[in-house]
Amino acid sequence: MRSLRTSPPPPRATELRCWALSTGAELRNLRASLHEALTGHALAEGEELDGIPERVVLVATELATNALLHGLPPTTVRLLRGEEVFILDVADRDLSTVPELADIRPLGAGGRGLQLARAFSLAVGWYATEDTKHIWASFPRGEGQADG
């Protein structure tokens, strides 16, 4: 396994939304709320996402699931807006582990959330504060997405 790079997210970012999660059942609401924050409209039942919102929602779901399964509560998901990027920041309180890329596990064995984040975002990194561990991913701000 390889470690993920240690780096804080870009410093000039404004928080658009924040979600506190304690169970996997809350992921559905996170996805819908994230879509609304990115596009300015609610996700209709059965509506398919496309482009950047789809990528942000997929990565948010993966990273939040990892935090819920392997971290210590609460799990906090924040959507931030920088000059040219959206930043997704997922935090938990488990400071005893370092995020690692699971590049040698067989398919179906889990541990692919960080790989998906790397594949679908511009950059991924992690950092720790005094009491939380954060994993972040950045995405381009495209046309048709809410400016908050």
- CATH label of the domain that carries residue 18: 3.30.565.10
What pLDDT, on a 0 to 100 scale, did the predictor assign at position 142? 67
Q: Count Cβ atoms within 10 A of the Cβ of residue 6 and give its class: 0-12 exposed, 13-18 middle, 19 or more buried.
A: exposed
Q: Which residue has the higher pLDDT, 76 or 51?
A: 76
For tokens 């609304």, name the residue: 36
> In total, how many domains does the chain have?
1
In a domain, 147, yes or no: no
How much is the pLDDT for 5?
75
What type of residue sits at position 48?
Answer: E
Amino acid identity for residue 57 in this structure: V
Q: What is the DSSP pairing of strand 133-140 with strand 123-128?
A: antiparallel
How do residues 98-121 score in pLDDT, each as one tens digit? 887 766 555 554 557 888 899 999
pLDDT at 54: 87
92 vs 49: CA distance, rounded Å: 27
Which structural domain range is residue 121 located in? 2-140
In this prediction the pTM is 0.84
Q: Is residue 47 part of a domain?
A: yes
Give tens-digit pLDDT for 54-64. 899 999 999 99
Distance CA 113, CA 99 (A): 10
Query: How high is the pLDDT of residue 58?
Result: 93
Is residue 16 domain-resident? yes
| 57 located within any domain | yes
Predicted local confidence at residue 145, as pLDDT: 47
Residue 146 lies in a domain: no
What number is the average pLDDT over the span 112-139?
91
Please give the C-alpha separations between residue 15 and each of 5, 20, 76, 122, in angstroms, as whole numbers: 23, 14, 13, 19
Question: Could you write out the three-class secondary structure of 69-89?
Answer: HHCCCCEEEEEEECCCEEEEE
Residue 101 within a domain? yes
